[in-house]
Amino acid sequence: MTRILARKDPGSFKTLPLQIDANADMLSYRSLGLPLNFTQMLERRRPIEVDDSERFSVQLANLGVSVRLTLKWQNRDYWVLVRQRREDRGDVVLKLISGYVPAHELNLPLLTAIHEVAEECLLETPEGWLPGRYGHTWLPTPYQSILRYRQTCEFKLSPLSGSARSVRCGEMGLIERPRAYVHLPTASLQLVYDLTLQLPQDVRQLSLFHVDERLVDGQLVAALERQRPDVYLLPLNGGAPGDQLFQLRRGELLPTSTRGIWLSESFAEQDGWLVRAERIRWQDWQTRLRAAEQARLAS
């Protein structure tokens, strides 16, 4: 059964196109031109070409953020992936939690990133839904009029290691040092934050659900589908991703098939600052991981 959690007017979303300047050590971005609404932004997300992957200047349609979220569950680490049907690209992929950065948060995209965690990834316990916080900042509880959030405990987000290469908004370096890439097929800049999610000690029967926004009759509708949780856990072995996927329901890890799975472009090969692929097949990603590990051991 589908439960509608929220409705938004896509016309209320505003962002700004970007000017990007990159060299081998640093990438900087700044806003450019007039604000764009959701439809105008999507119209600008068209393929572009960049000749030099390390040094270039280019105008892009928008800024996006992703969160490579590591969940600690029963003394093991898992990456959190969500399933999404991408209407603008005509595919279905597993991806990191992600979203578009509005104009008023372009200089603080980390705020957008942690808000996306609160909106996209819901954590249910028998006593209610878990709220969260990042340091001393409480995450929003965007569906509190519909869902019952717990009052006495919360999950905690904290940063992991940042990227070695600097990313700046104008002259200001971004905190938590996200990884950055320019996605050529959509003319967009994507920032990937590496965060960990720590659960309260008393949580046992945990279930994870993905809430996805879809454009329905001119509105952005956020819906919860209990029969399709659409959150997947990828186990880490010594920090390296494994070759299995699980779903977490009522505290039990349930293995799920990887057959026919595609991953979003954030898992594809990055050349300098550029990512050229739209998506990558699960098997191809696993092959690339094994080749990289063999090369590391041989060096």
pLDDT single digits (tens) 273-288: 999 999 999 999 999 9
pLDDT of 216 reads: 85
pLDDT at 9: 87
Residue 208 φ then ψ, to 5°: -115, 135
The per-residue pLDDT for 25 is: 96
pLDDT digits (tens, 9 = 90+) for 173-226: 999 999 999 999 999 999 999 999 999 998 989 999 999 888 888 888 999 988
pLDDT at 164: 85
Beta-ladder partners of 266: none
What DSSP assignment string belongs to 90-145?
Answer: TEEEEE-EEEEPPGGGTT-HHHHHHHHHHHHEEEEETTEE--EEETTEEPP-TTTT
| 93-112 average pLDDT score | 97
Percent of the chain with pLDDT over 70: 100
pLDDT for position 29: 98
Q: What pLDDT sits at residue 296?
A: 83
Structure tokens at 223: 């819906």
Q: What is the pLDDT of residue 10?
A: 82
Average pLDDT over residues 145-160: 95
pLDDT for the residue numbered 71:
97
The answer on pLDDT for 95 being more than 80 is yes
pLDDT of residue 268: 97
User: 14-73, pLDDT tens digit by residue?
Assistant: 999 999 999 999 999 999 999 999 889 999 999 999 999 999 999 999 999 999 999 999
| pLDDT at residue number 162 | 82
The pLDDT value recorded for residue 109 is: 98
